[in-house]
Amino acid sequence: MKRQYKESALLQYMENQVPAMLSLLQALVELESPSGEKAYIDKLVDFLGCRFRELGLLVEVREGPLGNHLIVTRNAGDEKAGDERAEDENAGDDVDTGGVHGGRTRVSDESGGRYEAPGGKQGRGVGQILILCHVDTVWDAGEIADRPFEVIGDKAYGPGVLDMKGGIVQTYFAFKALKDLGMRTGRRIRALFTPDEEQGSSSSYPIIEEEARQSAYVLVPEPAAAPSGGLKTGRKGIAKFKVHISGRASHAGGDPQRGRSAIEELAHQILRLHALTDYEVGTSVNVGVVRGGTRSNIVAASAEAEVDVRFCTMDEGERVKEVIMNLSPVLPDIEISVTGGIERPPMTRTPEGTRLFRIAKGFAQDLGFDVCEEFSGGASDGNFTATMGVPTLDGLGPVGAGSHATNEHVVIASLPQRAALMAKLLAAL
């Protein structure tokens, strides 16, 4: 039978690694990697590439305009502890799933024991496991000077520590455990580290799609759902738009009636946009940025707004998009132009995704903690792979709070637990 490393030994191994985890986490946080800053991102990618090479893994760096992409590969059967190899290497062996169904279960679907991966590949060992990480953060260069990495009590703080450098640390130590503990894997494992997730993954999407088409499963160590620590099997889609208003300038005192205020028109449009929000169906529209005018004594000739839309189904996303792209002026002699569109499709819950969650939940319970199934209003690169039909489990990263906020932190105790869960999934799927 295929050997599964005992959960107690795996968790103890990870707990012994906590000082090293925090050291790596600090190094990653201090290597700032703002979205859109290629030089910073490439430096972090080079650092990670060196660390993964030290584990004997295959490392590929692909050039990109917004930053380089890092792809790390561990081929099936690459465990180093040769004396611990399983005696039976037949495909489809039963594996210990931590009591998902009260004992042992077969990691396969219910329609004959095979999952058909994209491209028509079938069977255990055919179709890789893809891990999706991103190295970019929302924080500008120099933020680390104001908020240095620090450990306070049971939490670690710093820019990007949760979203998602903590998940990168988990990924590294999951690979390290596979090597150090001689854990045999039945599939090729690929970890993709992208440079532009926080900006919509425009340069990364072709690579994500390419890798997903070769994958049987996708694991995403984005932050766990807060505050539950749950795993994410569904996410909302996201669309972004810029609304530009063109009016006519005039002197606000000497000739105000001649002017056509773009700011006044924008105020009307903001009310229209926010009226599209429908919490019952899960749609929210937020005008988050507005700009307009030049001086208080000039009727504003131009104004613009940046709009964020979240939705649960593609039909709803397309409906809202159609309304926004066809906004009409309220005031005379005004022109409106709109750019943008759907950035990420929704990650819809599927039976395959829920089944993958149940397997992970069983493993977590074996490791001594519990996880629940969550739906998130945020989006990730997992939205792309789930939409392609690949079973995707998100929120595998650390427990914490404050993503994109100055109180961003991870709960240190969650790092070894969830790194152990990742290692277990990589070995068993």
The answer to whether residue 357 sits within a structural domain is yes
The answer to whether residue 414 sits within a structural domain is yes
- 390 with 357, same domain: the answer is yes
- 245 with 169, same domain: the answer is no
- 155 with 272, same domain: the answer is no
Picking from 344, 365, 388, the residue at the C-terminal end of a domain is: 344
Q: What is the CATH number of the domain that holds 82?
A: 3.40.630.10
pLDDT tens-place string over residues 310-327: 999 999 999 999 999 999
- 266 with 224, same domain: the answer is no
Q: Which domain holds residue 48?
A: 7-236+347-428
Neighbours of 404 (CB within 10 A): 14
Q: What is the CATH number of the domain that holds 306?
A: 3.30.70.360
- 266 with 175, same domain: the answer is no
- 268 with 352, same domain: the answer is no
- Residue 401, judged by CB atoms within 10 A of its CB (0-12, 13-18, 19+), counts as middle
pLDDT tens-place string over residues 73-127: 999 977 653 333 333 333 333 333 333 222 322 343 332 222 233 333 333 446 9
Q: What is the average per-residue pLDDT within 16-38? A: 99
- 20 with 154, same domain: the answer is yes
Using a pLDDT cut of 70, give the percent of the chain over it: 88
- 70 with 197, same domain: the answer is yes
The answer to whether residue 351 sits within a structural domain is yes
Question: Over 80: is that where the pLDDT of 22 sits?
Answer: yes
Count of domains forming the chain: 2
Task: Please list, in sequence order, all residues whose beta carbon lies within 8 angstroms of the beta carbon of residue 255, skipping any fewer than 6 positions away.
Answer: none
Q: Report pLDDT for 5.
A: 58
> What is the side-by-side strand order in the sheet with 155-157?
150-152, 155-157, 409-411, 400-401
Picking from 297, 327, 344, the residue at the C-terminal end of a domain is: 344
3-state SS of the chain: helix, strand, coil percent to 5?
35, 25, 45
- 12 with 122, same domain: the answer is yes
The answer to whether residue 304 sits within a structural domain is yes
- 81 with 190, same domain: the answer is yes
The answer to whether residue 1 sits within a structural domain is no
- 92 with 158, same domain: the answer is yes
The answer to whether residue 2 sits within a structural domain is no
Q: Is 419 helix (H, G, I), strand (E, B) or coil?
A: helix
Picking from 344, 373, 400, the residue at the C-terminal end of a domain is: 344
- 69 with 216, same domain: the answer is yes
